[in-house]
């Protein structure tokens, strides 16, 4: 076996070992959820996109807090929300069971609600 073949074989063995150990890791991380579905929506005044609630299923923390479809999320736990992706991350990083303040814009009026995320379900 020449040096080049040996190096290639060694790399393949290391790569296979890395893949095998990676499969042992959980596919989802633990986190929290409020149960609402959100999207990024464009504003009509050409400013930055907003994060809007598109669905609030019954019996979720979002429904219990009084959130509604169409609410625009301003902040969560003191952090300004800039995108749906960032919002989902902030919520997921919140310890389940910890009540936080959330500000939404509904029909031009800012409203602050208290919301308690629950553990998210494994997907």
d(CA 104, CA 18): 44
Q: State pTM to two decimals.
A: 0.70
Q: What is the pLDDT of residues 17-32, one digit of tens each?
A: 444 444 333 334 468 9
Q: What is the pLDDT of residues 36-49, one digit of tens each?
A: 999 998 766 656 67
The residue among 34, 88, 103, 37 whose CA lies nearest residue 62 is 34
How confident is the model over 76-88, as a mean pLDDT? Answer: 94
How confident is the model over 72-93, as a mean pLDDT? Answer: 94
* Residue 121 pLDDT: 73
């Amino acid at each position: 076996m020449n040096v080049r073949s040996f190096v290639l074989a060694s790399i393949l063995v290391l790569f296979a070992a890395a893949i095998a150990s990676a499969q042992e890791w959980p596919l989802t991380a633990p986190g929290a959820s409020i149960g609402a579905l959100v999207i990024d929506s464009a504003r009509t005044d050409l400013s930055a996109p907003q994060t809007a609630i598109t669905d609030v299923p019954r019996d979720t923390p979002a429904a219990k807090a009084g959130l509604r479809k169409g609410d625009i999320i301003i902040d969560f736990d003191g952090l300004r929300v800039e995108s749906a992706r960032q919002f989902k991350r902030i919520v997921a990083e919140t310890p389940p069971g910890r009540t936080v303040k959330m500000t939404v814009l509904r029909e031009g009026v800012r409203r602050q609600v208290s919301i308690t995320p629950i553990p998210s379900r494994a997907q």
